[in-house]
Structure 1
Amino acid sequence: MANYQKSEVALAESATLINIFAEKIRRQIIIALGNSDDGLNVTDITAMVNISRPAVSHHLRLMREAGVIDMRSNGVEHIYYLTLTTPLQQLLSTFNTLAADTQAAGGK
């Protein structure tokens, strides 16, 4: 019987990130921020993803908590930008663990 205990732990640790990337609006926000040179404010993001400002703020909060984006202040407005290096390293580590467990189980 295969033992995926390491994968279970790694997947649990990455569940929030996986959920961030799984949601369509958040993916749209990531792409919009990725296509921006200097980041975007909430008004810009709201116009691009075509949902309410409170809904955008909700998604941005979740994304900040997960470490996918960060924010800087520019006077009274907040500018959001991507911070993907650490989250992507975590996901890569998770998938490498899953691949190793799969290999150890004979590729099942």
Structure 2
Amino acid sequence: MANYQQSKVALTNSATLISIFAEKIRRQIIIALGNSDDGLNVTDITALVDISRPAVSHHLRLMREAGVIDMRSSGVEHIYFLTLSAPLQQLQATFATLAADTEAAGGK
């Protein structure tokens, strides 16, 4: 019988990140921030994703908590930018663990 215990732990630890990338609005925000040289404020992001400002702020909070973005203050506004290196490394490690468990289980 296959033992996917390592994959279970890895997938559980990465579930928040997976949900960040799975949601359409958050993917749009990631692309918008990726296309920005210096980051974007909430007003800029709201215009690009066409949802309310409170909804954008909600998504930004979740993304910051997951480590996908960060923020710096510029006067009275907050500028958001991508911080994908660590989250992507975590996802790569998760999928490598899943691949190793799958191979050990005979490709099942």
**What is the TM-score of this pair, normalised by structure 2?**
1.00
* 2:39 counterpart residue number: 39
Give the partner amino acid of 1:78: H
Residue identity opposite 1:63 in structure 2: M
Task: Give 1:88 deviation, angstroms.
Answer: 0.2
Name structure 2 gaps, 5 residues minimum.
none
Secondary structure (helix, strand or coil) at the match of 2:51 reads coil
- 1:74 maps to what in 2? 74
Q: Distance in 1 between matches of 2:103 and 2:47?
A: 46
2: CA distance, partners of 1:6 / 1:13: 11
Q: Which residue of structure 1 aligns with residue 21 of structure 2?
A: 21
Could you tell me which residue of structure 2 aligns to residue 104 of structure 1?
Answer: 104
Runs of 4+ in 1 over 2 A off after TM superposition: none
Residue ranges of structure 1 left out of the alignment (5+ in a row): none
Q: SS at 1:72's partner residue?
A: strand
CA RMSD, 1 decimal: 0.2
Q: 1:26-85 CA deviation, whole Å, 9 max, x = no partner? A: 000000000000000000000000000000000000000000000000000000000000
Give aligned-pair identity as a percent.
86
Equivalent position of 1:56 in the other structure: 56
3-state SS of paired residue (1:101): helix
> 1:40 & 1:106 partners in 2: Cα distance?
47
User: If the length of structure 1 is used for normalisation, what is the TM-score?
Assistant: 1.00
